[in-house]
Amino acid sequence: MFQPLTKGDFAGTWDDACVYCRPTCFVDRPHELDDACLRIADTMVWFAAWQVSLRDDGAVRSAIVPVPELGDWIA
């Protein structure tokens, strides 16, 4: 079952843990967000957050992380 993910969960993971990042929170007017969103490849699809999932030892934890905060989560 899915559990909430926190920044501290990354410190206590195993070497074989997997991190998955999927775009979410799609936006139709990115010019209003002032660099708080990203563009997918060469399309007109923009998103404002990542769904970050950590699979570690059979357990899956997940969180929605705004685009500007992703660096703090995975640093």
Q: What is the reported pLDDT for 33?
A: 82
- Does residue 45 register a pLDDT over 90? yes
- Does residue 2 register a pLDDT over 80? no
* pLDDT above 90: percentage of residues in the chain: 45
pTM of the model: 0.82
Quick: pLDDT tens for 13-39.
777 888 899 999 999 988 888 789 999
Quick: pLDDT tens for 47-66.
999 999 988 877 888 999 99
- Residue type for position 14: W
Domain ranges of the chain: 2-74
Cα→Cα distances 61→15, 22, 30, 43, 56, Å = 16, 14, 29, 30, 8
